[in-house]
Structure 1
Amino acid sequence: MEFKHVSVLLYETINALVHPEFHVKRNQFRECLTGKFTKSGLYVDGTFGRGGHSRYLLSLLDKNSKLVVFDKDPMAIEAAESLKKEDGRVLVVHGAFSTMSDVLSDFGITKVDGITMDLGISSPQIDDGTRGFSFMRDGPLDMRMDNSKGLTAAEWLASADVELIAKVIKEYGEERFAFQIAKAIASRREHNPIRTTHELAELIAANVRTREKGQHPATRTFQAIRIYINEELEELSRSLTSAIELLKVGGRLSVISFHSLEDRIVKQFIAKESNPASEFARLPIREVDMPKGNLKSLGKLTATEDEILKNPRSRSAILRVAERIEGQR
């Protein structure tokens, strides 16, 4: 079955990556620039998905440019390989974007002109019940981005202690009923393991009440388990550090996040790399000896009301953009 995916903040994300005059307050950068602007360079899409951002980026790049795409999801890699057959400028890597520094080094690439990341899960992953990401689709409780390795969510819930389950749900789901949910999971698995998405969702719904109007009681728990199983926040932190090393001076970083935990990491990283001296402001250090910033923030964007109407998933999306400057590295 073919699952449709609509890229969020498509034009904004890529225009921010390549256009030297990009500004968050200029509406022209919310529009398609194909045929109006061409750029040459070496770029990285750290989260290929179904290729929406990559395809638009390629439409703005000249024939001498290259695009390296990463994804952990085997289905995404199939889509990437199809694009590679259409366009010889594409290099495909089946792996996490946190490995991009080492992988690009193996390709003989030490610097790039831009890196983009669209965090979280794609619509096809949510809509495909066999992947186990959503309580809206019944299926095996898997949740792995790369379903060829690692523990499934069901296997983890069957073996993890109650304290760890509660900690994960509280920290990664910001769920105030975390311990109550963890105890219910532990009690259930003693006589009947949780194997499917609906089994987990029904267990949570039976034991807690929803906190927010219109939100299913299992929403935050599913998010938390997915983040933990895939080490999403650790991957993000490692990727941002790699981006600093890889970007040329003047190169851009554009990152779309979908929940507060991701956005906090991106926001704080850009702030720290833009003004590292702020950490030492109260220390007796001469200005000349203060560390220099590696990034300049170009601001943030959210989806327009029109995009939200067409693609409700874009409602929570935040795009943050930064440019590499001459700093300490």
Structure 2
Amino acid sequence: MEADLTNAQLLFGSMGWTKPTGKAAQVSFDVAKHEDGSTDLQNFKIVGDDIAVDGQISLDADQHLKKFYFSDFSVSPQTHVEITAEVRDDQVLEVHAEGPSYDGQQFFRSLFSAGQLVEDGSTEPAQPFGIDFTAKIGRVVGFYDTTATNVDVMLKKRDGRLIALDAKGLLNGREVAAVELQNKNGARILKAEAHDAGAAFRLVGFYRSIKGGDASLQVNMDAGGPGTKSGTLWARDFEVEGDPVVADVLTDPSAAAVLGEQKQQMVKSSIVFKRLRAPFSVAPASSVCATPISTVRRSAPPCAARWTSNRRRSISAAPTFRSTA
């Protein structure tokens, strides 16, 4: 059996991937029916623009999903993972992914879109199963030529809600980064730590001009209405370089009054910061608003940095740093 999926939208939420409508793809498989009424979709293949999925899907006697296996799940030139999944008796889909590489850019974009993975701005459809997901990936590719290596992930969802998360890896193969979901007074609190703030920000496409430093993130997953999240980002002992604002500060005579001795630490158009605190919010309108508060400036506009994803979910970031007159 064959079908054209070009006009269809495919969503694999556990892997943070969607095929948008209009992207060329074809599906083919052989149907094997068994005496007990169950069905196997053998030689299952999806091929198309940068898509090559190969495996088998099994359905039970009621033609509901029973299990699937993809020997190579490749949805971009940099994604190659093997996936096994089976529906348990408690209606939880247990998924394990393992492979040498994974392109995480689409997933990272969704972090700034209130969890939206699809192009039309809608959220993931209701899931018929709970999800228990584990992964071991050799190399996760992010933005600005930044990677995470030796990545281990454990994630659980029930009724579409994230209830457990534990992930860790090495930024550019060197510094540790970790993410964990905790429960505090009935609220789900996402906590993240990275020992290379600049690499972490570049990996997820947040901001490219920070170098070094330590970063921590705390997000209240249950703040506000449905799909709304709020939190605070901290960074310590880092540099901002290669940003036009930095050049403005360095050429402003009033900068000396603000930076004092720090002016001696400036090299190659960079400014050394001791601390940054940035409260932010993510709303269903697909925007992120952050107000950085640092040791080198006094005030900021109501939203000093805003990241808004457009219809194509492209993300841009331009934090504002101001010196004091």
The question of a shared fold, defined as TM-score above 0.5 by the shorter chain, is answered with no
Pair member with larger Rg: 2
Structure with greater helix share of residues: 1
Structure with greater strand share of residues: 2
TM-score (ref. length: structure 2): 0.25
* Higher relative contact order (Cα pairs below 8 Å, separated by 6+ residues): 1
TM-score (ref. length: structure 1): 0.24
